[in-house]
Amino acid sequence: MNLITVSGPPSSGKTSVILKTIESLKKKGFKVAVAKFDCLYTDDDKLYEKAGIPVKKGLSGALCPDHYFVSNVEEITKWGVDNKFDILISESAGLCNRCSPYIKGIKAVCVIDNLSGINTPKKIGPMLKSADIVVITKGDIVSQAEREVFASRVNTVNPAAAIMHINGLTGQGSFELSTLLYDESLNIETLKGKELRFPMPSALCSYCLGETRIGESYQMGNVRKMKMED
Amino acid sequence: MKKTELISKKISSLLNEFPFLSAFFNDNGLELKGKKELTLPEYFAEFDEDEIEDRAIDAENLISQIGEFIEQMIAFLGKDEDIVKTVTILPGTDKSGDKEDFGKLEIHQGEIISIVGPTGSGKSRLLGDIEWVAQSDTPTSRKILVNNDIPDNKWRFSSSDKLVAQLSQNMNFVMDLSVFEFVELHAESRLVENKEDVISRIINKANDLAGEKFSPDTPITSLSGGQSRALMIADTAILSKSPIILIDEIENAGIDRKRALKLLLSEDKIVLMATHDPILALMGDKRIVIKNGGIYKIIDTTEEERTILSTLEEMDKTLLAYRTKLRSGEIITEIQKENIN
Ligand SMILES: Nc1ncnc2c1ncn2[C@@H]1O[C@H](COP(=O)(O)OP(=O)(O)OP(=O)(O)O)[C@@H](O)[C@H]1O
Ligand SMILES: Nc1nc2c(ncn2[C@@H]2O[C@H](COP(=O)(O)OP(=O)(O)O)[C@@H](O)[C@H]2O)c(=O)[nH]1
Ligand SMILES: [Mg+2]
Ligand SMILES: [Mg+2]
């Protein structure tokens, strides 16, 4: 089975792109499923179900969604392998724009949209910078000039990625993406032993553990202070 | 450039050799002040563990990306502009799997091709095939050749060498910039040399096309629909490197469509236009008729049709004149026959 991780800021068009791309993959005879990770709430699983796509949903609740993802991705992979899917796509929102739990040897797709502003590529961390494929959506509602400027900014922060333009509403470009996803040589039976492409932040402070009171004397563990001089 | 070379040079000498690298450092939020005399590995070694974690710095990856970026930019700057003289469509199959019935369709620089056909017939798929330079790997199995050759893969994935630029129906601007700043931003991303000249040329051309004039310091978000379209077309004609322009209808309001097409052609573009408007359809040198997913007919616009086009254009003007009258509060009393010959 191929595992493909899809990440991107909320509402960037991940679900739309995945749905359209799976249409093309199904036509080619692939068995495709989705694992949806989110924080507090998602309806995406219903959209996938409606499209006849097997889906598993995980909500991280009070935990960091990316940590939650890594802790569960092996079980999800097992579910996919047991069900003999050819392709399992994970959808997760890169909530703090910093990290995304991309895995070495697993294809990583980042979805961002043209409306997010031309400085956005600068602000997104490894989620964008270490993706193999960057999908840019919502080109239909901006000008050609804005599309070109945005794509060139993405290219500057991730020159090695294939940049694809997809319209999440009509699906234009999703067929083309579907041809880049499946790779026989990337088939896996398990994720055990695989490594993250980039370490996650080692956040563990008193507030992670439920502290609610404010003030220096309540702060323990990994605490860092702003520089206040000048 | 070899990796060994890349990691042994000082940043200052890299910047000297490749001035465009400053954009890379800037866009990646990498501060260079006081650190230019270091090599790349020395530079990244100066970050402490907290910074590396906080800012998600992956030195290994960044160094290899710098190498990649340099290669791309050298290729982009150094090459003679790719001149696309012809694009050829080789037949595939329609939705029923039947072979399309034409030998091949060659489209030349400076030509306008209109694409007509009912909703769902496959117009967008044809445009998609061209954009993706299909090699029998799309649902239509069509093949696209560029300059009579199997095309380079770069047309698919490079951010700077797109075969196709699209003028979309909704030409909204979302940035909070003046017309001048907006065009400047685009010009900078294309690394043009004579920036000021290019910018003023674009704004002048746009003003030629638009009904009402606008100045360089107008915020783009306050341009009218017609003005936005005019700016977009002028900008795409002059700044976009893509040799092919796809147009999904040009709305008839507030812009001189004939001049717009002329401007695109004067920049040696190939124009493909999906349309339901008979005037636009007849402005093409040829029109492709799509049916059931396949190219059903390819028709050269006849002399007779060109004559009829002028009549249609007159009718169109008459309609527009009524529209102007209604807009300005007049009451219409009779058909103005003098406009229709
Ligand atoms: N030759 C073909 N073989 C198989 N499928 C095709 C073929 N041509 C088009 N299709 C499919 O038919 C559907 C409709 O085509 P498309 O969206 O291109 O229509 P359209 O002419 O652009 O319609 P509209 O006028 O509504 O924009 C798409 O899913 C497309 O992939
Ligand atoms: N205009 C336009 N809207 C889009 C496009 N892609 C997605 N959308 C819309 O953007 C919204 C968010 O999309 P969704 O796929 O749910 O984003 P996700 O949160 O990243 O999964 C939805 O209303 C989509 O219909 C696109 O290419 N163009
Ligand atoms: Mg979603
Ligand atoms: Mg269409």
In terms of domains, do B36 and B106 share one? no
In terms of domains, do B58 and B203 share one? no
Rounded CA separation A72/A92 (Å): 12
For the domain that residue B174 is a member of, what is the CATH number? 3.40.50.300
CB neighbourhood size of B68 (10 A): 15
Q: Identify the top-confidence range among A119-128, A184-193, B242-251.
A: A184-193
Q: With 50 as the cut, is the pLDDT of residue B340 above it?
A: no
Q: Which residue's CA is minimally distant from atom 13 of ligand 2?
A: A13
In terms of domains, do B150 and B273 share one? yes
Chain A residue nearest residue B55, CA to CA: A125
Give the pLDDT confidence of A7-36 residue by residue, as tens digits: 998 899 999 999 999 999 999 999 999 999
In terms of domains, do B249 and B330 share one? no
Give the pLDDT confidence of A42-53 residue by residue, as tens digits: 889 999 999 999
Query: What are the chain B neighbours of A145 within 8 Å (beta carbons)?
Result: 182-183, 185-186, 232, 235-236, 239-240
In terms of domains, do B71 and B134 share one? no
Q: Is the separation of the CB atoms in B130 and B164 below 8 Å? A: yes
In terms of domains, do B69 and B88 share one? no
Query: How close, in Å, is residue B131 to chain A by CA atoms?
Result: 9
Query: What pLDDT is recorded for position A228?
Result: 79
Query: What pLDDT is recorded for position B253?
Result: 63
Average pLDDT over residues B239-247: 88
Domains and CATH numbers, chain A: 2-198 (3.40.50.300)
User: What pTM does this model have?
Assistant: 0.81
Q: With 50 as the cut, is the pLDDT of residue A120 above it?
A: yes
In terms of domains, do B18 and B133 share one? no
Query: What pLDDT is recorded for position B341?
Result: 43
Q: Quote the tokens at residue B296.
A: 């059903």
Query: What pLDDT is recorded for position A188?
Result: 93
* Nearest ligand to the CA atom of B122: 1
Which residues constitute the domain of residue B339? 310-341
Of chain B, the end-to-end C-alpha distance in Å amounts to 68
Average pLDDT, chain B: 87
**Subunit contact A141:B174, Cβ cutoff 8 A:** yes
Domain count, chain B: 3
* Nearest ligand to the CA atom of A94: 2
Between CA B107 and CA B115, with CA B110 as vertex, the angle to 5 degrees is 50
B328 vs B211: which has the higher pLDDT: B328
Q: Which residues of B, range 117-176, sit inside 8 Å of A by Cβ?
A: 124, 128, 132, 137-139, 156-160, 165-168, 170-175
In terms of domains, do B67 and B181 share one? no
In terms of domains, do B188 and B337 share one? no
In terms of domains, do B293 and B165 share one? yes
| Sole residue written with tokens 């590995």 | B41
In terms of domains, do B93 and B194 share one? yes
Q: List CB-based neighbours of ion ligand 3 within 5 Å.
A: A 14-15, 44
In terms of domains, do B255 and B315 share one? no
Instruction: Tell me the CA–centroid distance for residue A6 and ligand 2, in Å.
Output: 14
* CA neighbor of A42 nearest in space, from A32, A56, A57: A57
